[in-house]
Amino acid sequence: MLPKEFKPKASYQLIRLGKNNDGGYLVESKSIEQTAALISMGIGKNWMFEEDFIAHKDIVVNAYDHSVRGFFWPKFFIKSFLSILIGRFKAPYNAVKIYKKFMRFFRGKAVLFYEKIGAEEKDYTNVKKTLERIKEKPIFFKIDIEGYEYQILDEIILNSELLSGMVIEFHNIYDHIDEIRTFINNFELTLVHVHPNNNRIDDQGNPRAIEMSFARNPEKLSESSVLPHPLDQLNVPRKEAVSLRFINS
């Protein structure tokens, strides 16, 4: 069960950006038109959201991910070679292709900062610093930083006038219900979509993580929201779908 504030109050014009299943997000179409720059927090081996975004509008892209350095790629290549043992003979070739695409994208159309996002002063990059690096405004945020999102929610609210839209994944949500609810209630942007991540669920069948999409002044299609949206996809296809349930609290 989720608080009623977690449910959008209407239906909006949404499009899907990013790869199928995990890594794709529903975005309000008007917010793309309004965007002058994209800040992506959390990349890994999946930057299709960023590719799709700039395919719709040619904008500046700054990405952040401290994890894709050091042994990240060597480990990836080792795993791909070991996959030969289970019959995945093209795995090493595909791994090299992915790496080359990664290097090409982040040396050309996007800038990647190998920095950790958070609110702590030492060894972390805060929201203010990410915004100061970009002259173009307004900005769209994509945030998937494995729990560190809770450290920067207050900063996002303080700088919300600079944003055109945002997609964010909240992790371990039942430990942070009040924080998420407070964020929704104080954020300038409108909640336009919510999607459960079916990768991990609790004993009651509730998702442990949810994805939320926000937009500035979105146009309503109807006064009621429809969940799941026709464009929604399971994060993990082999696992069962999760139904969202909302209660007054």
Question: Residue 249: its pLDDT value, please?
Answer: 63
Question: Residue 120: its pLDDT value, please?
Answer: 83
d(CA 40, CA 47): 9
- DSSP string covering 178-196, please? HHHHHHHHH-SSEEEEEEE
Identify the DSSP state of 72. H
Q: Which of 41-50, 51-60, 118-127 has the lowest mean pLDDT?
A: 118-127
Q: What is the pLDDT of residues 232-248, one digit of tens each?
A: 999 999 999 998 999 88
Question: Residue 206: its pLDDT value, please?
Answer: 87
Q: Are 91 and 83 in contact (CB under 8 A)?
A: yes
The interaxial angle of helices 72-82 and 91-108, nearest 10 deg, is: 160
Q: What is the pLDDT of residues 164-200, one digit of tens each?
A: 999 999 999 999 999 999 999 999 999 999 999 999 8
β partners of residue 220: 12
Identify the DSSP state of 9. S
Q: What is the mean pLDDT of residues 130-156?
A: 97
Q: What is the mean pLDDT of residues 215-227?
A: 95
Six-digit token pair at 4?
Answer: 């009623």
Is the dihedral angle over the CA atoms 140, 144, 148, 154 positive or is it negative?
positive
Question: Residue 204: its pLDDT value, please?
Answer: 83
Percent of the chain with pLDDT over 70: 100
55 vs 203, higher pLDDT: 55
Domains in the chain: ranges and CATH: 2-69+114-247 (3.40.50)
pLDDT band at 123 (very low <50, low <70, confident <90, very high): confident
How many CB atoms within 10 Å of residue 152?
24
d(CA 31, CA 191): 12
Residue 221 has, within 13 A of its CA and on its CB side, a CA count of 13
Q: What is the pLDDT of residues 61-110, one digit of tens each?
A: 999 999 999 999 999 999 999 999 999 999 999 999 999 999 999 998 89
β partners of residue 209: 197
Number of H helices, E strands in the chain: 7, 13
d(CA 59, CA 76): 30
d(CA 194, CA 211): 6
pLDDT band at 122 (very low <50, low <70, confident <90, very high): confident
pLDDT band at 158 (very low <50, low <70, confident <90, very high): very high
